Structure 1
Amino acid sequence: MTVATELDDMALQHLRTIALQKLDNAVRTALSGAGEDAGHRALEEALAACAEAGAPVSAQVLGSVEAAGEHLRYGERMEARMLLTVAHRLLSGAHPPMVLPEPSTPGDVVLGR
């Protein structure tokens, strides 16, 4: 790998990181109640920046942000706020994903003998 290729890879990674930060900032701006139009517009711009940079946005974050944007368009603040909170927590990585136990099958549990 040449130095130029390494620099190009680093620059691309930097652009992706900035795009994800912009998305998280847009989510926080929308959560702050800056206004439905401003929040919706910020979310759309941030999603476009992520797509342009090829930033890895999870399907859960993407779905939450898009749905929140639609709720903001119609003035549905409570619904948007719930979805934006989920997106923010996923973007910040504050909480590891939940791991649910496998479902039990008959015979797994032996009751008092």
Structure 2
Amino acid sequence: MGRLQARQDDVDKIERDMACTSELQWLSLCCLFKEISIKVSYGKRVFSMLEDVKELIDRKITGDSMLWLRHLRDVVEERDLLTIVGQETVLEKAWNHLMDKETR
């Protein structure tokens, strides 16, 4: 009876491991799909900008097209800079090293 219980425990463990594996596979597929959709969206924006550039190159720039060019520049998005953890400490150490009389 003890051997059967040990086998049952082994089977239960394998089933739990398989469930975790299938969940991980599903999560990785979701992440992959999200990454691909982000890249497709980025590619569409780049392609649109390239089309705008081709159109500008083909046209002769006059006063009217300069107004259109200003509108084109509004498309650019500004991104916030990422916070770098420990940046001030590193900069302070570098500054102190540069200001050290032995370094000069």
Bucket of the pairwise TM-score, normalised by the shorter protein:
0.3 to 0.5
Larger RCO, structures 1/2 (Cα 8 Å, 6+ apart): 1
Higher helix share: 2
Larger radius of gyration: 2
